[in-house]
């Protein structure tokens, strides 16, 4: 049981990092990256990182769209 908890904790940390990166990328460019690679060598293809996001952050896409729209509105106000 403790191994499962350890795996879930590690997955959660990975999902949090992936979420942060993907959210920043989406807000900046308007689309999600095809893959994500971190300096520690961790690599996630599109399907894998979307699975992590959906599993641990089910409201990600709604938040991403809202933040992207807010960024675009800022540009029009300037």
> How many domains are there within the chain?
1
pLDDT at 6 over 50: no
pLDDT of residue 31: 97
Query: At 46, phi and psi to the nearest 5?
Result: -55, -50
Per residue in 13-71, pLDDT (tens digit) is 788 999 999 999 999 999 999 999 988 888 889 999 999 899 899 999 999 999 999 99
Please give the Cα distance from 40 to 45 (Å, whole number): 16
Give the domain extent around 6: 2-77
44: exposed, middle or buried (C-beta count within 10 Å: 0-12, 13-18, 19+)?
buried
d(CA 20, CA 22): 6
Q: What is residue 10's predicted lDDT score, i.e. its pLDDT?
A: 57
Say yes or no to pLDDT of 2 above 70. no
For residue 31, the Cα-to-chain-centroid distance in whole angstroms is: 12
pLDDT the model gives residue 4: 42
| pLDDT at residue 14, as a whole number | 84
44 DSSP 8-state letter: E
């Amino acid at each position: 049981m403790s191994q499962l908890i350890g795996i879930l904790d590690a997955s959660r940390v990975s999902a949090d990092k992936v979420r942060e990166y993907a959210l920043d990328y989406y807000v900046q460019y308007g689309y999600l990256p095809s893959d994500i690679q971190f300096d520690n060598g961790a690599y996630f293809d599109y399907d894998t990182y979307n699975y992590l996001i959906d599993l641990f952050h089910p409201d990600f896409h709604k938040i991403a769209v809202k933040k992207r729209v807010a960024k675009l509105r800022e540009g029009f106000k300037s």
